[in-house]
């Protein structure tokens, strides 16, 4: 996390303490053991154990780093499960390589998706192959994801365009969210561009 985001987190924690609420730091700590197991994907590199890796649109995202061979050289590839709101209002979960500076746009490399408003990666329903994904689509299993933190009903949330830079909380009945951040990436909340996603024929990604 960058210094800028650490400062945001400190502000949120201080506000939560004054209000007598659980701090963002405590919420993040609760996700230390959270795992999302992806298996059975035709694109073999997508299979693995995804761990908590910050937030996108105020919802926890999960990442997995694997090694691929390209031009006879080994390279690391980071894949991420994240939820994205489209301009239509539709909420989709994607399994993608997120672009480092413009996540949630056509610059992402998408492999699989599922339409769902869930605040955790959907384990029911059918994921679909998209972009560079290969059939069959994966099965998803969530392990040790804490409940009661980001599990409010969708209508309780007012989610702004992605990635948003609000410095608030993400609780049922509130309109505030934690800062979007990755555990090992620079802050990218200030220069997102709205672009269409070629993998979504009906909608444009925000």
Residue 30 covered by a domain = yes
Q: Is 150 helix (H, G, I), strand (E, B) or coil?
A: coil
User: Measuring CA to CA, which residue among 131, 92, 86 is closest to residue 110?
Assistant: 131
Domain that holds residue 54: 3-156
Is 124 within the bounds of a domain? yes
Does 87 map to a domain?
Answer: yes
Model pLDDT, residue 93? 97
Question: Does 15 reside within a domain?
Answer: yes
Assess if residue 175 is contained within a domain.
no
pLDDT at 68: 86
- DSSP-derived secondary structure letter, 120: S
Instruction: Specify the pLDDT at position 5.
Output: 75
Q: Is the dihedral of CA 48, 70, 76, 92 positive or negative?
A: negative
pTM of the shown model:
0.72
Q: 């506000």: which residue's tokens?
A: 15
The mean pLDDT of 168-190, rounded to a whole number, is 42
What's the total number of domains in the chain? 1
Q: Do the domain assignments include residue 179?
A: no
């Amino acid at each position: 996390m960058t210094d800028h985001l650490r400062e945001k987190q400190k502000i949120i924690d201080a506000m939560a303490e004054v209000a007598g609420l659980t701090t963002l730091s405590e919420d993040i700590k609760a996700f230390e053991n959270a795992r999302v197991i992806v298996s059975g994907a035709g694109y073999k590199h997508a299979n693995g154990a995804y761990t908590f890796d910050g937030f996108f649109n105020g919802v926890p995202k999960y990442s997995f780093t694997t090694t691929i061979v390209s031009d006879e050289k080994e390279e690391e590839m980071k894949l991420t499960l994240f939820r994205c709101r489209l301009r239509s209002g539709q909420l989709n979960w994607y399994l993608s390589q997120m672009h480092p500076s413009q996540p949630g746009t056509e610059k992402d490399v998408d492999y699989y998706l599922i339409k769902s408003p869930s605040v955790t990666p959907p384990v029911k329903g059918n994921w679909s192959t998209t972009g560079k994904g290969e059939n069959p689509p994966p099965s998803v299993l969530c392990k040790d994801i804490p409940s009661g933190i980001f599990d409010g009903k969708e209508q309780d949330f007012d989610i702004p365009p992605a990635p948003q830079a609000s410095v608030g909380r993400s609780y049922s009945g509130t309109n505030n969210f934690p800062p979007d951040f990755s555990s090992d990436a620079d802050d990218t909340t200030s220069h997102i561009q709205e672009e269409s996603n070629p993998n979504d024929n009906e909608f444009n990604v925000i």
